[in-house]
Amino acid sequence: MFGRQAYCQKATLEVRRCILKWNFSNDHSIAPQIVEMIQTGILAGFYPLGSALPSVRALAVEAGVNPNTMQKALAELEAQGLLYTQRTSGRTVTTDERLIMELKERRAHDYIRHYFEGMQSLGIARDRAAEMLAASASASTSADTSASDTKATTTTTNTTEVN
């Protein structure tokens, strides 16, 4: 269920835009923010498993950051096992799907924690927050279904044109 194909398909335009924007918040160091962005990029399939990453300088230019900062972030991702260096072809994304799954889980829990923290700051209790989330999820699922139906139709049309 976690094949490379599936990854690529999951890189929705929305995520691509998020990744490519490289918007940094001002109250943290930049390197950890880059780490998180590239993690998201890997999880979303923007940087597919086993693919080569652009060079440090190319990435630095793209993100508009200092090459040393980019280097630091990539070293951290290497330490996490998400990237590895190949002598001939630069840095490559790991092919270890279990590692990716773990990361995905960890990042998902971060989002969940943020959600409950945010709701708590509004004075909404945990169980109520959970109810609201479930209600919102079921509401958006039905909306999503119709949206993806439209998308599927468009894709089919495109394929036909290509053929």
Name the residues that contact other proteins, by CB under 8 A: 24, 26-31, 57, 60-61, 63-69
Q: How far is the CB of 54 from other proteins (least distance, A)?
A: 13
Nearer to other proteins, 33 or 39 (CB): 33
Count helices and strands in the chain by DSSP H and E runs: 7, 2
- The nearest distance, CB 26 to other proteins, in angstroms, is 4
Q: Identify which of residues 55 and 154 has a Cβ nearer to other proteins in the complex.
A: 55
Q: Decide whether 50 or 54 has the Cβ nearer to other proteins.
A: 54
Please name every residue paired with 105 in a beta bridge, in sequence order, or none if there are none.
Answer: none
Residue 158 CB, nearest approach to other proteins (Å)? 33
Q: CB nearer to other proteins: give 64 or 123.
A: 64
Half-sphere exposure of 59 (CA within 13 A, CB side): 23
Smallest distance from other proteins to CB 55, Å: 11
Structure tokens, 84: 């590895």
List C-alpha distances in Å: 113 to 15, 75, 108, 130. 21, 27, 9, 12
Instruction: Give the angle 100-68-74 at the CA atoms, nearest 5°.
Output: 10
